[in-house]
A and B are shown apart, each in its own frame.
Chain A
Amino acid sequence: MHIPDGLLDPKTWASSAAISTAAVGYAARHTARVMEERHVPTMGVLAAFIFAAQMVNFPIIGGTSGHLVGAVLAAAILGPWTAILLLTTVLTVQAFLFGDGGITALGANVLNLAIVATWSGYGIYAAVSRLWPSARGRLAGAFAGAWCSTLAASATVAVMLAVSGLVPLGLALGAMLTWHALIGLGEGAITVAVLAYVAQVRPDLAGFRMVRAARLEEAN
C-alpha cells in the first residue's frame, strides 16, 4: 500500500508530511521518556522482522497480493508511539534504499501506514483486551485491530488519492476498502501467529507489552 511518486498532488503530500513530522516528533519524545536502552535490541529485531515480512507478498484472490504492515504487531509489543517511530524508520529505509514508496509520498506513507494504521489498530486491540482480559481476548483484539488497521490505512490512502484529484472519493474508497478487507485478513492472521508465538516463548511479557512490562517489574 506504499504510495509511489506522481500520484499525490503537492498540497496533499506536503500537508501529509507536515502532520507526520509533528506526530513522529512527538513519538520520538514519548519513546525517549518510556524506553530504556535494554529495549533497543528488541526494537531493532522487530523492525528487521517487519521489513522482511513486508517483502513477502501473499496472493489473495483475482491476481492481487498483499503484505503485512505490522502496525498492531509493533504496537502490542512496544506501545503505539514507539511502534510509530519503528514503522517510520522502516518506511524511510524502504523509500531511500529500495524505491518502495515515493520520496514525495514518504510523509503520506508514514501518515497512513505508521500513524493511522497504528492508532486505529491499537485502539481496537486495547479496547478488546480490556473487555476480554485473557490471552485469548488479547489475540482476538490483535486480529480485529490488525484487520481494522489495514482498512483504516487503505481508507486514508483513498482520501489522499481523491483530494489529489485522481479519482472520485467514493470510487477510490470502494476499491481500496474491498481489496484491503481481504488483505487485512492476512494482516490479522500473521499478527496473531507472531504474538501467540511471542506469548509462548516469553510468558514474562504480560500482555506482550515489553516496555510496560519492564516498568511494572521495576515498580514491584
Chain B
Amino acid sequence: MSRFLWWALALAAALAVAVAPFASPDPDGLERVAEDLGFAERAAVWLRTPFADYLFPGIGSERVATAVAGALGVAATAFAVMAVGRLLTRRMEPGPGRHAR
C-alpha cells in the first residue's frame, strides 16, 4: 500500500477516534423531519447490534465509547470492502492447467 493510502487511512482513523466523539448530537435531516411531521416514535431498531449508536459497550464515557467503536468501524469497513474487492478481482489462473483434472 502506498504512503498516500496509509496517510489517508490514518486520517480516517483520526476522524473516527478524535473528531466523531465531538460530532453534533443534533438530529439529522431525516430525524428532524420525523420529529416535525410526527412519525419519530415509529422509528425502531429491530436488529441487536454489538455497537448500537456507535458506542462500544461497557465504557462509561460516551466519547471514549464512540472513539473505540469508530476505530473498530474504520477497521471493519476497510476489511469488508477489501474482502469484496479481492473476491471480485481474483482472476482465474490462465493456462492449460485450468481444464486439467
Residues of A within 8 A of B (CB): 1-7, 28, 31-32, 35-37, 39-53, 55-59, 62-67, 85-86, 89-90, 92-100, 102-104, 154, 157, 161, 166-167, 171-172, 175-176, 179-180, 183, 201-202
Interchain CB contact under 8 A, B44 and A4? yes
Given known A-B contacts A179-B29, A179-B32, A180-B29, A52 and B74 have beta carbons under 8 A apart: yes
Interchain CB contact under 8 A, A93 and B49? no
- Secondary structure class of chain A's binding surface, majority of residues: helix
Distance from B26 Cβ to chain A, minimum over Cβ atoms (Å): 4
Q: With the chains together, A39 CA to B84 CA distance in Å?
A: 12
Report chain A residues within 8 Å CB of B19.
Answer: 52, 56
Given known A-B contacts A44-B85, A55-B54, A64-B29, A93 and B70 have beta carbons under 8 A apart: no
Residues of B within 8 A of A (CB): 1-2, 4-5, 8-9, 11-13, 15-16, 19-20, 23-30, 32-34, 36-37, 39, 42-47, 49-54, 66, 69-70, 72-82, 84-86, 88-91
Which A residue sits closest to B9, measured CB to CB?
A: A45
Interchain CB contact under 8 A, B33 and A175? yes
Report chain B residues within 8 Å CB of A94.
Answer: 73
Report chain B residues within 8 Å CB of A5.
Answer: 43-47
Distance from B61 Cβ to chain A, minimum over Cβ atoms (Å): 16
Given known A-B contacts A4-B45, A103-B47, A52 and B16 have beta carbons under 8 A apart: yes
Interchain CB contact under 8 A, A98 and B54? yes
Given known A-B contacts A57-B28, A93-B76, A179 and B33 have beta carbons under 8 A apart: yes
Distance from A62 Cβ to chain B, minimum over Cβ atoms (Å): 8
Report chain A residues within 8 Å CB of B81.
Answer: 43-44, 47-48, 86, 89-90
